[in-house]
Amino acid sequence: MLQNDRSGLLFTAGGFILLSSGDAIIKTMNGMWAPTAIAALRYVAGAIGLCTLLFMAEGRAGFRMPHPGLQLLRGAAVAFATLCFFSALFVMQLAEATTIVFVSPVLTAVLAPIFLKEKSRRVTWIASGIAFVGVLIVLRPNFSALGLAALLPLGSAAGMSILFMANRAVAGAASPLAMQAFIAAFAAPILVIAALVGHGSGLTSLEIGSPDWTVVLRCILVAMSASCGHWLIYMGTTRAGAATVAPMVYVQLLVAVALGWFLFGDAPDAATWLGAAIIIAAGLYLWGAGKARDVPKAE
């Protein structure tokens, strides 16, 4: 393995470890503040930090926004995915919620031919069928216990799928830092509005009071860790290539299982292990098929 490949894999693994660690920090705030308010504060902090860094690195020119409509879509997709996932973390195990969200790459492959006019492939439908079998296995015991709340991670996966497709549509239009800042800048006000609507809904779980200082600190910490995580993943991709580092995404799932078990005593049951294995197998099958297609044929 080349040096760049090794360093790329290490960068990418570190990024996914940070993302899973941030999810665990969010789960520690269960019952301390409304999930809508936590999501809003996390993205407000992220937007302030990223926009400050963007101004320092690129000046006012960095804020020239290409395709503002698509940037709004990216921010709205992230806001929706975040609301669903943070809410899911408060009612489900970390490993279960993370497992279901991992269907998003397969969901993207299914929707891309519709929205991006990409050619549909048979392997996509095979992988999709396999992945959704895994999702149903994980969902079944949760759905009987939680009702519709068990579908929250699936909503998060749909939001992330929309983000992936919008990312493809605006790829290369601005620097990676600017693209991160634009997402946060649009997601933050959307999440603030969602938090205010939740507060006015009358639901006790969504009421916004004065948070403990540790909640504020944890939200800022998650904003920082997520930004660093995405930067590490970007660096890993540029060093080793997207096809090489793609399977490293499953490091996030393994870390989620370990942290959920260690911090919250949430030992995954047989259904979660089986469903996760099936979803991972579908993702690796789709990745392998795509990588094989990209290999140039001999003359």
Task: State residue 108's pLDDT score.
Answer: 78
Least confident of 24-33, 194-203, 277-286: 277-286
Give the pLDDT score at 128: 77
Give pLDDT, residue 50.
Answer: 95
Q: Is the model more confident about 195 or about 247? A: 195
Q: Average pLDDT of 125-135?
A: 81
Mean pLDDT value across the chain: 85
Domain boundaries of the chain, sorted by first residue: 3-293
> Which has the higher per-residue pLDDT, 244 or 122?
122
Residue 296 in this model has a pLDDT that exceeds 60: no
Residue pLDDT, tens place only, 230-271: 888 888 877 776 666 667 777 888 888 899 999 999 888 888
Dihedral class, residue 297 (left if φ above 0, else alpha if ψ from -120 to 50, else beta):
beta
Give the tens place of pLDDT for each residue, 99-108: 888 788 778 7
Output the pLDDT for position 105. 74
Mind listing the pLDDT tens digit for each residue in 169-193?
A: 887 888 989 999 999 999 999 999 9
Assign 141 a pLDDT band (cuts: 50, 70, 90). Answer: low
Q: Is residue 161 over pLDDT 90?
A: no
The pLDDT of residue 116? 73
pLDDT for the residue 170: 87
Instruction: Categorize the per-residue pLDDT at 299 as very low, low, confident or very high, splitting at 50, 70 and 90.
Output: very low
Instruction: Indicate if the pLDDT at residue 20 is higher than 60.
Output: yes
Question: Tens digits of per-residue pLDDT, 283-294?
Answer: 777 777 765 555
**pLDDT tens by residue, 63-79:** 999 999 999 999 999 99
Q: What is the pLDDT of residue 297?
A: 46
pLDDT of residue 142: 67
Residue 121 pLDDT more than 90?
A: no
Q: How far out from the chain centre does Cα 134 lie?
A: 19
